[in-house]
Amino acid sequence: MSFPEKHVFVCENKREADAPIPSCANAGGSEIRQALKQKVQELGLKKQVRINRAGCLGKCGFGPTLVIYPQGIWYGGFTEADIDEIVQKSIVGNEVIERFDLKKNQQQSAQPTQMRSVGY
């Protein structure tokens, strides 16, 4: 029996569109998780990398959000068009893409340029 080497948790939490705090499902979280799964499968990495649905990751204002373990890479503010880059550089290559890096961007500014700052 083999075990996956990496897990990617993609937030799919959904709130009403007019809720005071945004949610990742309304920012494309489900579509992004499906695209990630498809890309991982295309690359033959399905056994090594699990793409999992997650509830709220506590970074709602930066959605869509995901976290990659065991690296502990936290991303927000990406789109489906960024999936190939995230898979190649971060999931396969363990590299942090700075423009999506929630750890860096949350520390630097309350309003990162490519991320919304509502919520957490």
Interface contacts to ligand FES, rule CB under 6 A: 11, 13, 23-24, 56-60, 63, 65
73, 8 contact by CB (below 8 A): no
47, 4 contact by CB (below 8 A): yes
Q: In what order do the strands lie in the sheet with 65-69?
A: 49-54, 6-11, 65-69, 73-76
Q: Which is nearer to ligand FES, 79 or 88 (CB)?
A: 79
Q: Which is nearer to ligand FES, 13 or 90 (CB)?
A: 13
Q: Which is nearer to ligand FES, 92 or 120 (CB)?
A: 120
How far apart are CB 55 and ligand FES at their closest, in Å?
8
